Amino acid sequence: MLSSPQATSPSSSSSQSQRQWLSNFMSALRFASPPVKTLLSIGGSGDIPAALLAEIASCPSSRKPPLLLTAVVYFASDFFLDAAYRTYPVAAIRKNLDWINAMCYDYHGAWDPSATGAQTAFFDPKSNLSSIHGLKSWLQARLPRKQVVMGLPLYRRSWELKDPNVTEISAPALSFMAGKGELASFLIFFLCLYPSLEEQTRVKSGYFYAGSEIPVSDIDSSLFSHLICAFASIDSSAHPFSFNSSFEQIFSTFTSTVKRKNPSITTLLSVWAGGEDPSAFASMLGESSSRRSFIESTIEKTRLYAFSGIDLFGVWLGRSINITNLSVLLGEWRDGVDAESRKSGKPRLLLAMGVYCQSIVDSLSFPLDSIQRYLDWVHLIAYDYHLPTREKGFPARKLVLGLPYHGYAWQLEDSSGDAIGHPAVGPAETADGAFAYKAIKSFIQDFGYGASSVYNGTYVVNFYSKGLVWINFDDVEAIRAKVTYAKEKGLLGYSVFQINSDQNWVLSRT
């Protein structure tokens, strides 16, 4: 049966191109299966007048075999709709139609957002919303069995559960899921056939700093699902984003290079909100024309260099950043990538954002609704277990836990102890105490004189102490524990910062 939504009445006509398409369709079917019978479906809604059925059935004969006449009807012969009792003209249907296609589905859906429902229930002990009840009603209305065809849907409907542990039919739900919650049956089959798909789609991302000393070709991209090339910055003059001239070549070839070892890798381009001029981001947010320029330029460069998405990194909320303007930017950005996708015919660009997960977030009106609505996920720049956004109801499926591939060194006040919290006088070894993971491991090997790092399961961190130098970092034990935590809490995944700080991919393989 060929559906024609444009044909809304028996007298509707098709354009020349539509007629040609229909002709090709018929020819292809007859070639593949000569005995097959084809019907043209005319879209419409509302009641089926008995007089219309009789008029159609009595059309003058062309001396050809009579056309088949059918109708798609509600699952039952009588029902309530919009608080009114309705019934089909069964006598006219019996006399004039060859058969009916009873819609034995859509018993529950978007109109029932607060609880799950069996949208194709064959039997329902609590109500008449079932195929058994509907088919019986047609037979009891004296429509012959040979004129009743049971309709089966090739899609399913889905809800977001209020409690993931309560999964039975009629379980409380938060909402009917996007896209009307419909999944094509082939997709459901695919999900069942490959139960590991959820694990495969989990985000295992890593930031790569374009100014790194290691070449992009050395990245073992097979260890990640997503790689993020950092950082572009915001131009304070016209507010498009820009690259450091020394790094643009790296950005331009990043995607093609990492796909050599992992053709399915997804790459994102990261824009640093702080950048060389932190005020540029706040200034851009406040001007409509600047936001438009920024959005257009990010989309243009992202497509030009074959990235699949954009990441906004290091959004630090303070007095200089207006929360409303940030929400507006996210909405306009999402509208921009949606429009570009429709125009280009390419998959929509992903949108992600790296946010600082510290106590200051709790004291500000963080635009969680806008983040949830417009972004695909957020990277929590949270190198601990404080997740305030979860307490505010932000969905776990959009949270990506940040993991550091770096640590910090302190100079202890004295050598009388090395426990976490021991008094220190300031950073050690580097200006701010920052150490890449591989530098920490080399330091311990070269100057540890047999000493090794210690894992603290309470804080879920590693530390090393020798003399007055105390270094805190995440080694294999801490990374493994945090990855496990992300999985147990149902987070979308994890994101490491930065992959070029790893040593022989030890942490990335954890």
As a whole number of angstroms, the distance between CA 466 and CA 447 comes to: 9
| 274 and 384 assigned to the same domain | yes
The domain of 320 spans 202-401+481-501
Alpha helices in 182-274 (DSSP H): 185-193, 197-201, 248-258
Report CA-CA distances (Å) from 266 to 16, 276, 423.
43, 27, 44
Low-confidence ranges of the chain (pLDDT < 70): 1-18, 21, 28-34, 43-63, 81-82, 176-201, 238-239, 275-276, 316-321, 357-366, 382-394
Query: How many domains does the chain contain in total?
Result: 3
| 227 and 289 assigned to the same domain | yes
CB 285 within 8 A of CB 279: no
Instruction: List the one residue out of 279, 217, 210 whose CA is nearest residue 245.
Output: 210
The per-residue pLDDT for 123 is 83
The per-residue pLDDT for 11 is 43
| 378 and 469 assigned to the same domain | no
| 107 and 213 assigned to the same domain | no
CB 496 within 8 A of CB 507: yes
Residue 182 lies in a domain: no
| 100 and 249 assigned to the same domain | no
The per-residue pLDDT for 194 is 40
As a whole number of angstroms, the distance between CA 24 and CA 351 comes to: 41
Structure tokens at 303: 């497509």
| 329 and 211 assigned to the same domain | yes
CB 171 within 8 A of CB 116: yes
> How high is the mean pLDDT of the chain?
81
pTM: 0.60
The per-residue pLDDT for 33 is 66
The per-residue pLDDT for 190 is 40
CB 56 within 8 A of CB 18: no
| 345 and 451 assigned to the same domain | no
As a whole number of angstroms, the distance between CA 402 and CA 235 comes to: 27
As a whole number of angstroms, the distance between CA 108 and CA 119 comes to: 5
Q: How many residues does the chain have?
A: 510
CATH number at residue 364: 3.20.20.80
| 271 and 367 assigned to the same domain | yes
Instruction: List the one residue out of 477, 487, 486 whose CA is nearest residue 507.
Output: 477
| 121 and 142 assigned to the same domain | yes
